[in-house]
Amino acid sequence: MLLTIASFALALGLLIAVHEYGHYRVAVACGVKVLRFSIGFGKVLFRWQPKGSPTEFVLAAFPLGGYVKMLDEREAPVAEHERHLAFNTQPLRSRVAIVAAGPVANLLLAVLLTAMVNWIGMQHPAAVLASPVAGSMAIQSGLVGGDRVEGIGFEGDELQGVESFEDLRWFLTRGALEGQDVRLAVSGPTRATQTEVLLKLSEMDASEANAELFQKIGIIGPFSLPVIGEILVGAAADKSGLREGDVVLQVGAVPVVDGQQLRQLIRASVLNNESISAVWRINRDGTERTLTVKPEALQEGERWVGKIGAYVGAMPELVMVQYGPAEGLWRGLVRTWDVSVLTLKMMGKMLVGEASLKNLSGPLTIADYAGKSAGMGLTQYLIFLALISVSLGVLNLLPLPVLDGGHLMYYLWEGLTGKPVSDIWMERLQRGGVAILLGMMSIALFNDVTRLFG
């Protein structure tokens, strides 16, 4: 819990500080007088004003946001000799730059964080497929367990190399959510030559990016050998005589290819809420033998599934994914762009009802992910920060009056008509924007509670 709170606070503080610093830095560069730079709202906990600076730096009690207060005639009277320092007296291009600088700063931070992950390097599972889910699109396309994905691309595009299983998952996610077919070039022990396979993801009804999406596609994990790992004392595996290190070759009449297939066979070993025993052929220390294994039937939601009380599957093959300074930065830029575009497309789909509102997440889910990613190490935490930074940047560019994108919308109107939005319309739009934002926050909070406590 302490790690979750600390990692969430650090993430929130960093992302808000970077966002507001973008506004602050460009405002100062444009000659605007900045009165206050605040992280958080409400009661001031800490304040500091550098000698000779007009800006007061503040840390406030309520941390979900921040602001940069500039000299502005619309908020308070401004002395004549300081009018040239007021925000509202600046030319349109300067006001646009100041407002856009916050979201842009978040997007640039995401590029830097992703580049840092690329420079540091990470161990990822190799792009070798576990046995596809029965009846899934992957099965229908001819994919089998042990297939290694050598190249990938959208239909009509050139194939590109695949570094890891994470690259594969990202491509499949984009293809499913954007409604694009994906081509795979695969090789494997069952194939004489490299083969091209088409996954018709455009035919899927993909309204939400979750585990069920990959169940439908059929690719839910990397290849792992069907090895029995740690066994719980007294569990079904222990009672059946299985031992850690046993390699499962066959369950009943079904040859076992990998750990994913073995897990599916175990889960499916239930009939009428009762588990079914089967003869397993295993390899133990180079010697083949047979055992009769009867999993335990357990209820999982509305279904009954088989469990043996043991870890099933060896560690997958791992590859180090690491890039040099230039390539790492370029890939960080490309990934940030791709995530930004996908985020905008998903928001558009949610607006017209083509995507589920369950995709919205609030502070509870973000805090939960912050703690989990921090517990997994520095690189996972940096990836989490990059994703949240992209989301914050894109969200603030939406044309909602209370967000930066809303102010840019006002300036677009001013640029087209030569006159600013009237005070009456400004007030009406602000009210509508607040209502929409509160609605989005309510849905996100409801999704949080459902995910974490449902």
Catalytic option among 20, 73, 75, 203: 20
Checking DSSP bridges between strand 303-307 and strand 296-300, what pairing results, if any? antiparallel
Which of 123, 247, 144, 246 is CA-nearest to residue 195? 144
Rg (CA), the chain: 27
Q: Which helix (H) or strand (E) holds 420?
A: none
DSSP-assigned letter for residue 218 = T
For residue 415, how far is the Cα from the chain centroid? 36
Continuous H helices in 147-279: 165-178, 211-217, 236-239, 259-267
Separation of alpha carbons 68 and 301, rounded Å: 49
> 419: alpha, beta or left, given left = phi > 0 and alpha = psi -120 to 50?
beta
Residue 451 contacts by C-beta under 8 Å, 6 or more apart in sequence?
365
Phi, psi of 233, deg, nearest 5: -65, 130
The answer to whether 221 touches 130, Cβ cutoff 8 Å, is yes
> What burial letters (b/e) apply to 271-306, b meaning 16+ CB within 10 Å?
eeeebeebebbbeeeeeeeebebbbbbeeeeeebbb
Tell me, yes or no, if 300 is annotated catalytic.
no
What is the four-CA torsion angle of 149, 150, 153, 155, rounded to 10 degrees? -80
Angle in degrees, 0-180, between the axes of helices 92-120 and 325-352, rounded to the nearest 10: 120
Dihedral-angle region of residue 245 (phi above 0 means left; psi in -120 to 50 means alpha; beta otherwise): left
Long-range pairs for 404-413: beta carbons < 8 A, 24 or more residues apart: 404/99, 404/100, 404/102, 404/103, 405/103, 406/433, 407/99, 408/96, 408/99, 408/100, 411/92, 411/95, 411/96, 411/99
For residue 7, give the nearest of 388, 297, 261 by alpha carbon.
Answer: 388
Point out the residues that are catalytic.
20
